Amino acid sequence: MQKKYLFLFICICGFWWSNAQNNQEFSGTIVADSIAEIQVNIVNYNNRQGTVNGTLGKFSIKASEGDQVIFSSVKYEPHTIEITSEMLQKKNNQIILFLMVNELEEVNISSLTLTRDLLADANNMELQPILSAQDLGIPIRTAPRLTVEERRLYTAASGGPIGVLIDVLSGRMEMLNRQKEYADLELLIQRSKHLVPNNFFKETLNIEPTWVDDFLYFCSNQEDFEKNVNQEDVFVMIEFFKNQVKAYQKF
């Protein structure tokens, strides 16, 4: 009878010990880039239990010695470890995960062998002829493209006698002509500005950037301004601007 109870006691102890071994905690921290924003799946392959990491990478899962624990995520490479007794005793196990890198196959985008010499490589390339409107028999536009103001004037002038009369009497035609004059003047001023170096007004004429446009409008009212701009000669414009500085400062 005593042997029977002893055997039962040994079985209970063995079951308790086995259950205690299987209910140990394997815990630690996952070390990886942006781990606070990524969820890592942690699965014990042996006991089929799973969990995920916390925001700081902390984790804890039931495990016993010899279990295979898998760490997997879309962003990181899968990582598998085998649990040891030392790991179960430690509370600060560190699991390092690496970013997933998708290597693409090499793609040859050209059959040319480049030498890094632009002139030599350009001469070795076979270029296709450019297809022009003339090749297709389409008439080529030779007239200059009209500006917005010129198109408005053209529309107003082509509205027939009654339309033109109405535009003249209402003052619309005069307004359109003034708009065209302002646009032509603005274009002329910008052309003069781009004929000289960017730092010319500041370093040579000692005119602050905020006053450059004011100076150009002053010059546009001077004689020969339009003629000098139309020459498109840098030295002519530089000399013209130099001659206007004193008069502008006095103004």
Q: Is residue 164 part of a domain?
A: yes
DSSP summary character for residue 141: P
Q: Are residues 153 and 239 in the same domain?
A: yes
Evaluate if residue 1 carries a pLDDT over 60.
Answer: no
Evaluate if residue 128 carries a pLDDT over 80.
Answer: no
Q: Is residue 1 part of a domain?
A: no
Q: Which residues contact 56 (CB under 8 A, 6 or more apart)?
A: 29, 35, 36
Query: What is the total count of domains within the chain?
Result: 2
Q: Is residue 128 part of a domain?
A: no
pLDDT at 39: 86
Q: Is residue 13 part of a domain?
A: no
Q: Is residue 168 part of a domain?
A: yes
pLDDT at 136: 74
Q: Which residues contact 140 (CB under 8 A, 6 or more apart)?
A: 133, 134
Q: Are residues 90 and 152 in the same domain?
A: no
pLDDT at 167: 67
Evaluate if residue 139 carries a pLDDT over 80.
Answer: no
CB 156 within 8 A of CB 169: no
Q: Is residue 82 part of a domain?
A: yes
Instruction: Using the structure block, give the residue that is written with the tokens 């498109």.
Output: 232
Last residue of a domain, one of 96, 116, 133: 96
What is the SS3 assignment for 131? coil
What would the pLDDT profile of 172-229 be if each residue is shown by its tens digit?
778 877 887 888 888 888 888 888 888 888 888 888 888 888 988 898 888 888 888 8
| CA–CA–CA angle 26, 32, 33 (5° rounding) | 155
Evaluate if residue 47 carries a pLDDT over 50.
Answer: yes
The answer to whether the Cα torsion of 53, 58, 64, 69 is positive or negative is positive
Q: Is residue 76 part of a domain?
A: yes
CATH of the domain at 70: 2.60.40.4130
Provide, for the chain, the percentages of residues in helix, strand and coil under a 3-state DSSP scheme, each rounded to the nearest 5.
50, 15, 35
- Scanning 84-171, the segments in alpha helix (DSSP H) are 85-89, 118-124, 148-157, 160-170
What is the SS3 assignment for 149? helix
Res. 60 pLDDT band, cuts 50 70 90: very high
Instruction: Using the structure block, give the residue that is written with the tokens 């274009």.
Output: 187
Q: Are residues 92 and 161 in the same domain?
A: no
Mean pLDDT in residue range 34-51: 86
Lowest-confidence pick of 16-20, 59-63, 164-168, 225-229: 16-20
The boundaries of the domain holding residue 224 are 148-250
pLDDT at 177: 79
Instruction: Compute CA 171 distance to the chain's CA centroid, rounded to the nearest angstrom.
Output: 49
The answer to whether the Cα torsion of 156, 162, 165, 171 is positive or negative is negative
Retrieve residue 10's tokens. Answer: 């040994």
Evaluate if residue 16 carries a pLDDT over 50.
Answer: no
